[in-house]
Structure 1
Amino acid sequence: MRVRSRWAWVLWVLAAACGGFPDESPREVKAQACPPGVASRVRIVNPPGLAPQGHVEGLTDVQGTLYFTVTPVWVGGAVLWRSDGTEVGTVPVRSFPSGVYAGGVSVAAGSTLFFQLFDQVTGMVELWASDGTDSGTRFIRAFTPDISGPALRGLTALNDKRVVFFHQTPTGTTEVWSSDGTRAGTMLLATLTEVIGLAFHQTLKVGDDLLFFRIQRGATTLWRTDGSRVGTEAFKKLDSGEVSVAQVGGAGDQGLFILRDGPNREIWKTDGTTDGTLRLDTFGEEVRLLGGLGSKVYVAQSSRLYSLLLSGGGRTLVTTLPRDNENQSLWVQRAVRSGDSLYFAASLEGQGPMPDDVRLWVTNGTARGTRELFRSLQRDDMSYSPVFATGTGTVLFLGSRGGAPLYPWFTRGTAGTTGQLASVDVPVVQGLGPDPFVRSGGRVFFPASDDTGLEQLWSVPASFTCPPGVSEAQ
């Protein structure tokens, strides 16, 4: 690589003197932190000193407008907000009484927001819809929660008109429901037993259908629903016995899933049809999905990265990722596609319950194009480290360098285009919850504890430039 300008050369030399260069190239520059103001607070939604701190959660994009809730801890009284990314355009939509808490997944179907509330007084989980106005925020139906947690799971929009979801009843059955946002248009589609994987978000949206798994007369079957009673049906027997679902994912318009059958892990693809649901390969150990690039899907079996042909078979070893010692195993937590590359958070699992470290990697499907970008990411034994693609070639994650606090960082695929986004604390999402980052319109939003000491709404332009390194030519 040759530096194009004299000033770029000066910057390059200064970067070398201040800490050297990343591993992938001795001529590449290390990125710098974004200056204050690139990422900024949108509005104070938790006023200091007025009430117990509220959690900013349920961030959902509805046709370019962001919706979210703020619920004061302990006392409830959730408030639904909307935001266009400006302070004046971030306003409360509807306030709910004390004892009402936001919870569960929120989704958009067309211009309608569907969200869930828990009423501590009645003990019921409620489904609501909103068009962004107080008068247009309406109660749909209440559901009895099951003993293990939220009543409504797998809330998914179909055709921008309806949502489908599952109600797990206290008796152990699973009801499949559909709603157009009105009480009259909310209907029970089917009542089933032994629907599996809902607690781990193991459903797939493929085309205009939501796919899910069920143990049916001793066999494991794949079901689909299009939001109608007649369109809720089994369409593929996956195994003659009872097996579990290890993971779901996607590659383009194909759904991907892994079945755990005894010691084996089977990689499957589906287009939502019987003939288009096929087993691609079988591994004898735990394996994790990364995603698809072109005609291939990529998986990790501990530290070994493989590619499989989506047309079937064709397993190829891409590379082996390094570990700090031979007693560690490597576990891919989350992965996301951005451009022509897959970014993934991989934890090094040692003897303790918490990972020894969590590191950010990128691959373009080749050994040469697979490299470590950052250490250490969010390290927690109860949740996976977020990795979020902005849609503009930039990926956001939570990182901590040199013992510093866990802050939001960004990368564009090299150490020279990786830097700290802001010095604020983004709350850790527990369990398998969604990433804290959500794109709405031209901005990416996230909750953050800032100089107010409370969670507030923050955002950054989806396309932003911070002074990473210098411009270089190959």
Structure 2
Amino acid sequence: MIGPTSLEQIKKYFLQTTSNPQPTSLWLERLEGRQLLAGDPLLIDLQGGAGSSEPADFTEVNGTAFFSANGGSEGRELWISDGTPDGTMLVKDIEPAGGSDPSSMVNMNGTLFFTANTASYGRELWISDGTSTGTQLVKDLQAGPTSSEVENLINANGTLFFTANDGSTGVELWKSDGTSIGTELVANLFKGMGSSSPSQLTEIDGTVYFTANDGCFGFELWRTDDSSAGVQLVKDLNPSFNSSAPEELTEVNGTLFFTADDGSVGREIWLTDGTSSGTVLLFNILPGSGSSDPHELTNVNGTLFFVADGGLYGPELNKSNGTSGGTQIVKDIFPSATGSYPESLTNVNGTLFFTADNATQGQELWKSDGTNPGTVLVKEINTSGDSDAIGLTNVDGTFYFLANDGSAGLELWTSDGTSGGTELVENINPGDADAFDSGDYHLANLNGTLFFSASDGSSGVELWVLTTTTPTPLIVTGTGPGSPSIVRVLGAGGSELRNFAPYTEAFTGGVRVATGDINGDGVLDIVTAAGPGGGPHIQVFDSSTGGLIEGSPNNFYAYAPNVTVGVFVAVGDVNDDGFDDIITSADAGGGPHIKVFSGEDGSVLTEFYAYDPNFTGGVRVAAGDVDGNGTAEIITAPGAGGGPHIRVFEGTTGMQMPGAATNFYAYAPNVLTGVYVASGDVDGDGKDDILTAPGAGGGPHVKVFSSEDASLLQNFYAYDPAFTGGVRIAAADLNQDTFADILTVPGPSGGPHTRAFSGVDLTELANFYSGSPAATEGLFIAGGISTVPAGNFEPMSAPLSSFFTAEASNPTETLNFETFNKKKSWFDTAEEFYSQPKEIDDLFSGLGIW
């Protein structure tokens, strides 16, 4: 299962400030793993006492966070932080008489440019390198205490452009290289002391576009490339003194899109290549002179998304490829002329997230791939009203936002685009009180650290810092029967990070592995199960520390201790409590007995028989969110002697799930080699698909079935078609492209040849040996994404006798181990099939694959 093991969700930042009158100070909190605050918040009280530091305006320069805050005695000034208390300090008391109120911070070539207000100079342009001596006035544009009104700072190809009023030319366009002599007027568009008031400054390939009024054409689109050509009017869209008032300047594939009103078709979308002839109307969405009022222009991988009112639908989501014919509504979310009023359009890894009201769930979180069927509600966060999601923020591919679920108040949330992956990060202000002010919030991505300010209800609005780590794809293998039982933790490239013996190296029955977050701490855990000859012994290791996880369940017997047939294990959150649960099944010799143990307390959530209780060929299990409802279902396949019968059960009741992909044969019904199963979202539809591979005696034929209709998504041989040792499989998003990838290892008689294939196109992602190439006992495999390094694993030294001895408190369990007369399987004709690969293809219905 991919779900909770996809810990890449944590890589992000979020910033929030508020005008809450409660005292505010600076807080730091480290987060490790998925969506959970790791440990107690660390308070950095800049002002001390009951005062408020109110940190704001976070800007990253060379890995350091610059921000403004009120330390108390010096007023609001410039501060820096590396995310630690010792590394958080005042840069300079620029204005001793009450604070300089730094703002409009911009990183340009590793130097912070900002504006500050002093009694001597007014509000002017300053620079800082993070030191007191390196923090200085660039130039007093309007001499004396009068402010020059410096605004609209933008870094354009290494030159700072901004607007200012020097007292003689009005508000005009300026530029600076950080020196006094290099700070100069670009052009006085409105001659004399009048102001052209440039705004909407936008850079494309070294050219700065902006709107301005030169006193002749009204507010129109202008450009400058800082060359001898100076400043040029792009086009007078609304002739004479009238203004077309360009807004929403947005770059898509080197072309500037913007909205304007030419006086004829109303406010619509235009595009330009920087020339007058190349500045044209994209499409008159609302025919006639009315305005479709396009807004929220957003570039998503070369497609322009926006909100517009075409008249018939009201304000809805639209898209354009830059042509009139390619400009169209994406979906009528609110079926009427009312409109769903999409807001906060945000690109996250090529998927558009936004909020909308479909008249049923209220204003909630949506996503779109640009198609009608691919535009869907992510989750109804507030079932009794609007969640009013705001502050949608993409931070290095991870999506955070603020929302009110109706019980926790306005708090910080995260989403991976699925209902189950849309979760509250932390109820910072306990109860139903808001931690954030919906009218005053800011967002900042600061070099791997999340800075945001919020109120916990007792200390007021504080600064919280979340330090994240780079997600690391991990592949975990366990040895098969016949050699010491070793678990190996490897990087995606095959580098062995750690190895350990979960039981004792004297035990040679093999070890099965699964990965997930059992205790809900956001850290990838490794679950092990003993193979044949060992008791049904389950252990759970913390990948960050190498020891057993704290709390229950971390070390228990899935069945009666004297059951020595071996156990298979899977991991998934079946009851949506934030803890991955442990699913077990007995191996060959045991009945098809499935058990589900709570990841929170180890209690049995449900147990059932997946097949005829008299069948003793064993059962293999997987867990996946097959129906896309946010909780894991249980996927089963029989062991040797049973047909390739795949079934899917509801995780808390053990009831058979409805649907075409919940009860089917993965291969020809007379294939009796047994089947291994795994689950992951291979096609990106928000539902985990079903992966299958044959057991020993079968060819290396891997299939991926859509969880929607059981259609084949992938169909290939993982190894030489003549190999009949079977294949064990797993799913994990190794390349972190949001699609599950396919992990394989051979069964008995195959070397420890570990491979991984892209779930999208079967591109090989990994190809290495997990252990000695001479080993032929086969492997078991799992995979996942870890946000913390793999720790040092210590071998467990539990004596072998513990596998066999029943205690009075844990009596022997009665299972059906009756003899089952197997039909002829590939075991009986292995030599024949080795020599005739075509037979493999025929039996597995795989003709024409290779």
RMSD of aligned C-alpha atoms? Answer: 3.8
The structure 2 residue matched to 1:77, chosen from 75, 79, 86, is 75
The answer to whether residue 339 in structure 2 is matched with residue 334 in structure 1 is no
Q: Is the 8 A contact 2:124 2:148 kept in 1?
A: no
Further displaced range: 219-228 or 205-214: 219-228
Structure 2 counterparts to residues 30-429 of structure 1, below 5 A: 34-37=35-38, 44-49=44-49, 52-71=51-70, 77-96=75-94, 97-119=96-118, 121=119, 124-142=122-140, 151-160=149-158, 162-168=159-165, 173-193=170-190, 195=196, 198=199, 202-216=200-214, 217-218=216-217, 220-227=219-226, 230-240=229-239, 241-261=242-262, 264-274=266-276, 276-284=278-286, 285-301=292-308, 302-322=314-334, 329-346=339-356, 358-374=363-379, 375=381, 385-392=390-397, 394-424=398-428, 425-428=435-438
Further displaced range: 202-211 or 407-416: 202-211
Output the amino acid matched with 1:388.
T
Q: Is the 8 A contact 2:449 2:465 kept in 1?
A: no
Q: What's the CA shift for 1:289?
A: 3.3
SS at match of 2:442: coil
SS at match of 1:100: coil
The whole-number CA distance in structure 2 between the counterparts of 1:357 and 1:170 is 51
Q: What's the CA shift for 1:406?
A: 1.0
SS at match of 1:233: strand
The whole-number CA distance in structure 1 between the counterparts of 2:251 and 2:357 is 21
Q: Is the 8 A contact 1:429 1:436 kept in 2?
A: no
Q: Is the 8 A contact 2:83 2:467 kept in 1?
A: no
The whole-number CA distance in structure 1 between the counterparts of 2:127 and 2:631 is 46
CA distance 1:76–1:287, change in 2 (3 Å): farther
Q: What's the CA shift for 1:415?
A: 1.4
Task: Give the % identical residues.
Answer: 25
SS at match of 2:36: coil
Q: Is the 8 A contact 1:167 1:176 kept in 2?
A: yes
When normalised by structure 1's length, the TM-score is 0.76
Structure with more of its chain in strand, by fraction: 1
Q: What's the CA shift for 1:163?
A: 0.8
CA distance 1:102–1:372, change in 2 (3 Å): farther
Higher relative contact order (CA 8 A, sep 6+): 1
Q: Is the 8 A contact 1:42 1:459 kept in 2?
A: no
Q: Is the 8 A contact 2:390 2:403 kept in 1?
A: no
Further displaced range: 327-336 or 100-109: 327-336
CA distance 1:236–1:72, change in 2 (3 Å): farther
Cα deviation code 1:133-171 (max 9, x no counterpart):
1111111234569xxx992221001223x2110115788
The whole-number CA distance in structure 2 between the counterparts of 1:327 and 1:72 is 52
Give the unaligned 5+ runs of structure 2. Answer: 6-32, 287-291, 309-313, 429-434, 472-520, 523-577, 579-629, 633-678, 681-687, 690-850
CA distance 1:83–1:191, change in 2 (3 Å): same
CA distance 1:309–1:454, change in 2 (3 Å): closer
The whole-number CA distance in structure 2 between the counterparts of 1:254 and 1:64 is 32
Output the amino acid matched with 2:417.
G
The whole-number CA distance in structure 2 between the counterparts of 1:428 and 1:231 is 42
SS at match of 1:238: coil
Q: Which residue of 1 aligns with 2:445?
A: 439
The whole-number CA distance in structure 2 between the counterparts of 1:63 and 1:204 is 23
Look at both structures and tell me which one has the larger radius of gyration over its CA atoms: 2
Cα deviation code 1:293-318 (max 9, x no counterpart):
34532222244322222245422232
Q: Which residue of 2 aligns with 1:16?
A: none
Output the amino acid matched with 2:269.
I
The whole-number CA distance in structure 2 between the counterparts of 1:229 and 1:460 is 47
Q: Is the 8 A contact 2:77 2:99 kept in 1?
A: no
Cα deviation code 1:32-78 (max 9, x no counterpart):
9933228x85761534416x3122111112133221110369x8722
Q: Is the 8 A contact 2:68 2:103 kept in 1?
A: no
SS at match of 2:237: strand
Output the amino acid matched with 1:345.
T
Q: Is the 8 A contact 2:354 2:392 kept in 1?
A: yes
Give the unaligned 5+ runs of structure 1. Answer: 9-31, 350-355
CA distance 1:102–1:255, change in 2 (3 Å): farther
CA distance 1:294–1:60, change in 2 (3 Å): closer
Q: What's the CA shift for 1:419?
A: 1.2
SS at match of 1:244: coil
The whole-number CA distance in structure 2 between the counterparts of 1:441 and 1:278 is 39
The whole-number CA distance in structure 1 between the counterparts of 2:343 and 2:148 is 24
Q: What's the CA shift for 1:227?
A: 4.6
Q: Is the 8 A contact 1:254 1:270 kept in 2?
A: yes
Q: What's the CA shift for 1:88?
A: 2.9
**Count of aligned pairs:** 420
Output the amino acid matched with 1:389.
N
Q: What's the CA shift for 1:192?
A: 2.8
SS at match of 2:284: strand
SS at match of 2:420: helix
SS at match of 1:134: coil
Output the amino acid matched with 1:242.
S
Q: Is the 8 A contact 1:270 1:278 kept in 2?
A: yes
Q: Is the 8 A contact 2:66 2:81 kept in 1?
A: yes
Q: What's the CA shift for 1:267?
A: 0.7
Q: What's the CA shift for 1:123?
A: 7.8
CA distance 1:358–1:49, change in 2 (3 Å): farther
CA distance 1:333–1:117, change in 2 (3 Å): farther
The whole-number CA distance in structure 1 between the counterparts of 2:211 and 2:330 is 31
SS at match of 1:55: coil
Q: What's the CA shift for 1:395?
A: 1.2
The whole-number CA distance in structure 2 between the counterparts of 1:273 and 1:84 is 45
Cα deviation code 1:209-238 (max 9, x no counterpart):
221112342355321234567533323333
CA distance 1:122–1:132, change in 2 (3 Å): closer
Q: Is the 8 A contact 2:316 2:339 kept in 1?
A: no
SS at match of 1:304: strand
Q: Is the 8 A contact 2:77 2:102 kept in 1?
A: no
Cα deviation code 1:412-438 (max 9, x no counterpart):
2121211112333245464xxxx6221
Cα deviation code 1:377-409 (max 9, x no counterpart):
785xxxx932110122x2111111014321111
Output the amino acid matched with 1:265.
R
Q: What's the CA shift for 1:290?
A: 4.1
The whole-number CA distance in structure 2 between the counterparts of 1:4 and 1:204 is 40
Output the amino acid matched with 2:245.
S
The answer to whether residue 463 in structure 2 is matched with residue 456 in structure 1 is yes
The whole-number CA distance in structure 2 between the counterparts of 1:347 and 1:123 is 49
